[in-house]
């Protein structure tokens, strides 16, 4: 169990951790392009049947653009599938048994709940937003819906994760500047 607290208020949010997975492939090191990678790339037909069935429920006949696998912090293999529906990019992280760990979908600023949009604009301070993603964890009612927003300001790449509390209030749980 992880407890996330806001430094701006006295709100603390307990969040059970099922598995943590980083779905962005790491950049290739200099030299051999496969050296240092623990990602294996797949064709759709090579995936376990239960994983294919789960993916088909989400992709709505959309063309898959990329499939690779990675590992959770518990060593479980996770299949990460990227696809596009209309103008929205999707990324689905699925365990070998078909359980969906998370579903990321690109959204526009206008698609954010009003209070999340307001907090996003205030935090970004007028910078142009590069990416907004809605992150869901299907099948879990105890983990709130979150949004990830990315922008660049003063040559720093900013990433903010915002959760939406049951009350409808947004809470910044992470702000990275790199």
The model's pLDDT over 144-156, given as tens digits with 9 standing for 90+, comes to 578 999 999 888 9
Residue 144's pLDDT is 56
Lowest mean pLDDT among 30-39, 67-76, 118-127: 30-39
Question: What are phi and psi for residue 45, nearest 5 degrees?
Answer: -65, -20
Same domain, 81 and 96: yes
CB 122 within 8 A of CB 104: no
Q: Residue 49: which H helix or E strand, with range?
A: helix 49-59
Query: What does the pLDDT read at residue 5?
Result: 37
Q: What is the CATH number of the domain that holds 126?
A: 3.10.450
3-state secondary structure of 8: coil
Q: Which two tokens stand for residue 30?
A: 């200099």
Domain count, the chain: 2
Please state, in angstroms and rounded to a whole number, the distance separating the CA atoms of residues 89 and 133.
Answer: 9
Q: Tell whether the model's pLDDT for residue 9 goes beyond 50.
A: no
The predicted structure's pLDDT at residue 38: 67
User: What average pLDDT score do residues 92-105 get?
Assistant: 92
> Is pLDDT above 80 for 109?
yes
Write the pLDDT tens digit of every residue in 25-35.
433 333 333 33
As a whole number, mean pLDDT of residues 154-165 equals 89
- Give yes or no: residues 85 and 136 share one domain: no
Q: Per the domain annotation, does 131 fall within a domain?
A: yes
51 falls within a domain: yes
Q: Return the CATH number at 64.
A: 3.10.450.360
Could you tell me the pLDDT band of residue 175, with boundaries at 50, 70 and 90? Answer: very high
**Which carries the bigger pLDDT value, residue 144 or residue 86?**
86
What pLDDT, on the 0 to 100 scale, is given for residue 22? 41
pLDDT band (50, 70, 90) for residue 129? very high
Whether residue 154 lies inside any domain: the answer is yes
User: What average pLDDT does the structure give for the chain?
Assistant: 78
The predicted structure's pLDDT at residue 142: 52
- Round to whole Å and give the CA distance between 94 and 102: 7
> Domain span at residue 88?
38-104
114 or 8, higher pLDDT = 114
Q: Are 120 and 131 in the same domain?
A: yes
């Amino acid at each position: 169990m992880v407890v996330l607290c806001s430094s701006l208020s006295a709100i603390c949010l307990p969040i059970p951790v099922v598995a943590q997975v980083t779905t962005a492939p790491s950049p290739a090191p200099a030299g051999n392009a496969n050296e240092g990678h623990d990602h294996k790339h797949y064709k759709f037909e090579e995936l376990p049947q239960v994983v294919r069935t789960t993916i088909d429920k989400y992709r709505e006949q959309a063309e898959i653009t990329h499939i690779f696998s990675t590992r959770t912090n518990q060593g479980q293999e996770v299949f990460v599938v990227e696809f596009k529906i209309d103008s929205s990019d999707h990324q689905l992280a699925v365990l070998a048994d078909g359980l969906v760990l998370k579903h990321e979908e690109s959204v526009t600023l206008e698609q954010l709940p009003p209070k999340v949009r307001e907090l996003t604009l205030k935090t970004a301070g007028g910078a142009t937003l590069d990416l907004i993603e809605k992150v869901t964890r299907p099948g879990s009612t105890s983990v709130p819906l979150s949004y990830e927003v990315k922008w660049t300001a003063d040559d720093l790449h900013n990433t903010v994760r915002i959760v939406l509390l049951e009350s409808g209030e947004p809470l910044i749980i992470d702000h990275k500047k790199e």
